[in-house]
Structure 1
Amino acid sequence: MYWYDYFRNEDLEDDEFYCPYMEFMSRQQQQIGGPPQFGGMPPQMGGSPSQMGGSPMGPPPNITPSKKNAQAKFMPGTFAVDPGSLRPCRFRYVYIWPRRGRGFWAWLNYVGRRSASGFRWTGNRWVRFGIDLREIETFICF
């Protein structure tokens, strides 16, 4: 048995392949009504726009937090921020102190093994940004 036979449906012709993603999308189409939306943003299944990958609705808090109160204190020899410690800060206001440069407010939509992305506050608006977890010295969530 070849690896692609695992995804093959028994009642299909030999030249047709079974695609689990397309089956999932057809079930979603039946549940929410209307055709599946391809390209751009995925179909909205609920939640606020800010929790579905968009920027927050308003500006961050007016305070600049103290670095002493940061949740994630690291030893000087620490190589990177642990993604597990940053993941609970998704869809919340986060103040980030990078290893180089000034601290800034962020709204994180994604935290991966090596990077995080979302929106950064410039002082008057949110702009998209991404950062390597090795570049974060410490952070605090609100």
Structure 2
Amino acid sequence: MTNNPYYRNGDEFDSSSIPQGPPQGFSNDYFEPPPFGPPPGAGLPPIAPPPGFSPPIPAWQVGPGGIRNCLFSNTYVWLRNGRSFWFFPTFIGRQVIVGYRWRRRRGWTYHFLNPNEILSYQCF
């Protein structure tokens, strides 16, 4: 192993030539765990609570198609599992809808939705 720069005299390990810490010009911030809560750019939650009523389920808006029109609006969502709630979408993708869900005791909380779980919705 005479060509290995980390060994001298055949068997002795020399750690003095191994770089320590991040390269010059870089910080250790990259290796810290991400902060809790919504990621940057996710949009801010609404300031006020949603309307104080639960609307009847509309027969004409079935599935998640067209929910892009509800971006940054109070939206009542009905899921296929029977649950329903107020939602404030801030990002709508093909496989995920991101925003804030209204919870009576905690207010607006960051929430993800699978578009395939949506039975119906209504924007306000």
Normalised by the size of structure 1, how large is the TM-score?
0.55
Shift of 1:111: 0.5
Can you give the 5+ residue segments of structure 1 that lack an aligned partner in the other structure?
Answer: 1-39, 43-51, 75-79
Q: Where does residue 109 of structure 2 map in the other structure?
A: 127
Higher strand share: 2
Shift of 1:88: 1.1
Query: Deviation per CA, 1:30-81, whole angstroms, max 9, x where unpaired?
Result: xxxxxxxxxx736xxxxxxxxx7000001000111001x3651x3xxxxx52
Residue-pair matches, total: 85
Q: Where does residue 117 of structure 1 map in the other structure?
A: 98
Once superposed, which parts of structure 1, at least 4 consecutive aligned residues long, lie more than 3 Å away? none
**Do residues 62 (structure 1) and 52 (structure 2) align?**
yes
In 1, distance between residues paired with 2:69 and 2:76? 13
Which of 1 and 2 has greater Rg? 2
Q: CA contact under 8 A between 1:95 and 1:104: conserved in structure 2?
A: yes
- Bigger relative contact order (CA 8 A; separation at least 6): 2
Query: Deviation per CA, 1:89-137, whole angstroms, max 9, x where unpaired?
Result: 0100000000013200000000011220100001130101101100000
Q: CA contact under 8 A between 2:64 and 2:121: conserved in structure 1?
A: no
Normalised by the size of structure 2, how large is the TM-score?
0.62
In 2, distance between residues paired with 1:96 and 1:118? 12
Q: Where does residue 86 of structure 1 map in the other structure?
A: 67
Q: Where does residue 41 of structure 1 map in the other structure?
A: 40
Higher helix share: 1
The 3 A distance-change label for structure 1 pair 57 and 122 is: same
The 3 A distance-change label for structure 1 pair 71 and 90 is: farther
In 2, distance between residues paired with 1:128 and 1:70? 28
**Do residues 136 (structure 1) and 105 (structure 2) align?**
no
